[in-house]
Amino acid sequence: MTETITANPGKAKPKPTAGASGFETPKFEMPKFDLPKLEIPAAFREIAEKGVAQAKEHYEKIKAAAEETTDVLEDTYTTASKGASEYGRKVIEVSRANTNAAFDFFGQLMAAKSLSEVVELSTAHARGQFDTVSAQAKELAALAQKVSSETVEPIKTGMTGALRKVA
């Protein structure tokens, strides 16, 4: 709505002018309704309060279970990390032993004086390495099994306990 002021010396009131459509825009006010004041019956209030209390109780149970689960996962991660480090150290130890055996073997080959001695050294080294690698593989498998069972066991017991608390 735009207003124009006409220069009347006696009257200096602004006059409303028509909008773009040529009509004056009417003012609209929301009607006021008198709503009756309702009082909630005591039974409904009790039900609502019980519902809120139960929701809080369940929330506390779920929160405790989540915290316990977090602790279990942290412990599991720590155990797995230690186990992985132990396994890695064992792999490095095995690699070092095999590398040293290979260098010793090559040193013996360089000192060999005949082809029959080279064949004899090669056969003995292959037989020895087969036994060594078999033993090393058994050690690594046992260590991997130990690490995995140590890692998984706390998860099984911890998650079971946490879920029992929620239920």
What are the b/e assignments for 25-40, b being 16+ CB within 10 Å?
A: eeeeeeeeeeeeeeee
Residue 143 in 3-state DSSP?
Answer: helix
Q: Does residue 36 sit within a domain?
A: no
pLDDT tens, position by position, 26-45? 677 777 777 677 777 788 88
Q: Does residue 29 sit within a domain?
A: no
Domain that holds residue 95: 42-166
Indicate the number of domains in the chain: 1
Q: Does residue 80 sit within a domain?
A: yes
Q: Does residue 26 sit within a domain?
A: no
User: What pLDDT, on the 0 to 100 scale, is given for residue 104?
Assistant: 93
Q: Does residue 22 sit within a domain?
A: no
* Residue 102 in this model has a pLDDT that exceeds 90: yes
Q: Does residue 19 sit within a domain?
A: no
**R_g of the chain computed on alpha carbons:** 44
Q: Does residue 160 sit within a domain?
A: yes
0.85 exceeded by the pTM?
no
How sure is the predictor about 1, in pLDDT bands with cuts at 50, 70 and 90?
Answer: very low
d(CA 145, CA 131): 21
Q: Does residue 121 sit within a domain?
A: yes
How sure is the predictor about 67, in pLDDT bands with cuts at 50, 70 and 90?
Answer: confident
